[in-house]
Structures are given as C-alpha cells and as structure tokens.
Amino acid sequence: MSGLPREVLKWIQSLDLTWQVKTPKWDITNGYLTAEIFSWYFPQDIQMHSYNNGKSLDSKQKNWDLLKNFIKRHRLDIPSEVIDGTIHCKEGAAAMLLERMYELLTNRVIRKTPPEFETDFTDRGYQSKLPMHARSTASQSVKNNLRITEIQADSSLILNAQKSQKIINEHIDHRRMERQENPDRFNIRPSVGEASFRRPFPQQQEDGVTEERGESQDQQRSGSGISREPSVHFKEVQVRQLDKNALYNMPIQGY
C-alpha cells in the first residue's frame, strides 16, 4: 500500500473490509471495495448485493455506473478523471481516490508534501528516476500509459489515436529536454553562433586618457586606408570685374 498516507492506511484497516487492500491500483479498480467503503457511511444507499466482485471490464463498468450515480446524487466532489484513472489502473489514480474519499467521509485534511510532478496519471515520475539508458521508448510509453481497457471501453479509432499521439508528443518533448540538458551524452555539437568567440565590449576610460584614445582611433583609421585629406584638388581662377563708370559713358549706336 505504498503511496498512501499513514492516516489513510489506518482508516482503511479500521473499516474491516472483505479483503485487505495491499495494492490500491489493482484492488479497487473494479469498484467493489469502493462501494463497500461507502456502505459504511451510507448503508441505506449502497446495497452490496447490487455489485459484482468480478475482474472483467463489463463488471467494472456496471459497478462504476452505480457509483457514479451515487456520487452525483450526494454531490461528492470526486473528479471524473480520478474515477476513469482508477478504472483503467492508471498510476496514482487509485491512491488519489482513496485520499479524496478519506477527506470527504471523515471531514479531515491530509497533510502531505506537494507532488514533484503534475498529476497526469502517467509513469513520468517513475521514468525520471531511471537512468537514461533504461527509460522507455515511444512505443513502450504508449503501452505503459494507454491501457487495453481504455481501448475496449471506447472503440472510437479517432479518440484512441489522439490519446496515443498525445503520449508520443509528450515523450518527444521529454526527449528534447534531455538533449538540451545533457548535450555531451547525445554528442551534440555547438552551432556556429554558440562556438564563435565573443569579445567583451571595452570599458569606458577616464577623462584623463581621452586624448590617447583619440590618437589610437586616428592611427587605426590611417592604417585602414581612411584619410581625412581631400583626394581632389581645385585650382583657383582669377576673374576681372568690369568698370561700371566706363559702361555708363559708352555712346549708344543708332542715335
């Protein structure tokens, strides 16, 4: 019963159920023990003879249909994702269901540390603890996170294909993050921009050495072939001005 808080374990053991809950992922998947737990608090609404202790998908669906109606009728705040994850034996779903039932039925709050990963009912937390060479491939991730009961419960090919594609996309994103965090392991060479040498910008000098900086800049410009001297020379032309008095004293022809 790993993964459950101590107070939840003691609470389950005090109910004197038909059999002991050792692995919640497999023990409460068919809904029989879940109904038995509710029957201790709602004996008039839960009749155990209406539930079948079978392992087939048909038995699961019939039991959980009755439990869903009961949860809806009493307005119990249990997310449908948690119920579906429990039916299909998803990682962490059964433990979360028992914790939620404990809080609703006993009016107590469980004190626990926040999880490292977001609750998505996948094996991502387990895979992150494994060495890189032992982690699942894309096809194995689909097998681990898409149960056969999910495919049997909903025969829609489009929906099942979307679920598989979502798992593959998450696997590819996780792989991409691994390559970025460990480039040496994947023999990733730096790009041209990453490998190029970046010179730091020169620090601003004090006012006392501004002249030296100006001289060095002039030397650099002269060395590069840039000169401030004009390359084209213009010749000055002397122009004689006309005498205005002589112009007025000239005789006018024709008179």
| End residue of a domain, out of 187, 207, 226 | 187
Euclidean distance between CA atoms 214 and 211, whole angstroms: 5
Q: What was the pLDDT predicted at 209?
A: 45
Euclidean distance between CA atoms 104 and 122, whole angstroms: 25
197 in any annotated domain: no
Do 147 and 115 belong together in one domain?
A: no
Instruction: Report which DSSP code applies to 168.
Output: H
CATH number at residue 7: 1.10.418.10
Largest CA distance in the chain: 148
Lowest mean pLDDT among 12-21, 35-44, 167-176, 226-235: 226-235
Do 60 and 171 belong together in one domain?
A: no
Rounded (5°) CA angle 99-100-102: 65
Q: Which amino acid is at 59?
A: S
Do 5 and 111 belong together in one domain?
A: yes
Euclidean distance between CA atoms 175 and 144, whole angstroms: 17
173 in any annotated domain: yes
103 in any annotated domain: yes
- Within 10 angstroms of residue 94's Cβ, the number of other Cβ atoms is 26
235 in any annotated domain: no
Average pLDDT over residues 97-124: 78
Q: What was the pLDDT predicted at 12?
A: 93
Structural domain tally of the chain? 2
Do 95 and 21 belong together in one domain?
A: yes
Q: CB of 108 within 8 A of CB of 116?
A: no
Do 12 and 53 belong together in one domain?
A: yes
242 in any annotated domain: no
**pLDDT per residue over 161-209, tens digit each?**
888 898 899 889 888 888 888 888 777 777 777 777 666 656 654 444 4
Do 113 and 178 belong together in one domain?
A: no
Q: What was the pLDDT predicted at 126?
A: 80
Q: For residue 117, is pLDDT > 50?
A: no
**pLDDT per residue over 203-255, tens digit each?**
654 444 445 555 555 555 554 444 555 556 667 777 776 666 665 565 655 54
255 in any annotated domain: no
Euclidean distance between CA atoms 187 and 80, whole angstroms: 44
Q: Which amino acid is at 247?
A: L
**pLDDT per residue over 125-158, tens digit each?**
788 888 888 888 888 888 888 888 887 777 788 8
Domain of 169 in residue numbering reads as 132-187
Do 72 and 5 belong together in one domain?
A: yes
Do 105 and 139 belong together in one domain?
A: no
Query: Which position has the higher pLDDT, 232 or 42?
Result: 42
Do 116 and 136 belong together in one domain?
A: no
Q: List Cα–Cα distances, 243 to 248, 250, 251, in angstroms.
A: 9, 11, 15
Do 136 and 114 belong together in one domain?
A: no
Q: CB of 87 within 8 A of CB of 68?
A: no
